[in-house]
Amino acid sequence: MTQKIVFAAVIVLFLIVAVGITVLRALAASAPSVGSMAPDFTLTSQEGTPVSLKDFRGKWVVLYFYPKDFTSGCTLEAHNFQRDQALYQQKNAVVLGVSVDSADSHKQFCTKEGLNFKLLADTDYKVSTAYGSLTNVGLAKFASRHTFIIDPEGKIAKEYMDVSPNKHSEEVLEALAELQK
């Protein structure tokens, strides 16, 4: 009997958490829509230098938000973007990763994982919020795994609000090829 009660309690707790996360996402700032101007920003990179979206006018920008440095899914996603850097360059595109981790954390992550594209520190949550990508779970705040393809004029050309780290770089490259036709 006790095991059934514990099991039922676990199920109820799971449902409460699932509903809570859904409500939090619904209350979060909405993402900019396709066709709208991408919210401009300036954030610090892993090199300790400021990076602004406007610095990349004339190029395609793959702006991807991810939860946390050194976690398995985020590491896989970053490795795939790193692996495909030459393909992005051929498409006149830059990859910018954003999380709420510090620039120092990004520097350590890039060094450990051999990453040479820019990771940007959104420690005050403003950019993640502007892109509808900030998740609050209790006291923890992190960027949701979202990606925005921004065209050379600074408009949102495509957005991904449900990202699988395994194949994401490939699907972004396919979308870039389609968008550049």
Q: Which residues are catalytic?
A: 74
By C-alpha distance, which of 56, 43, 69, 55 is closest to 129?
43
Burial class (CB in 10 A: 0-12, 13-18, 19+), 40: exposed
Coil, helix or strand at residue 34: coil
Rounded to whole angstroms, how far apart are CA atoms 108 and 105? 5
By C-alpha distance, which of 177, 35, 41, 116 is closest to 169?
177
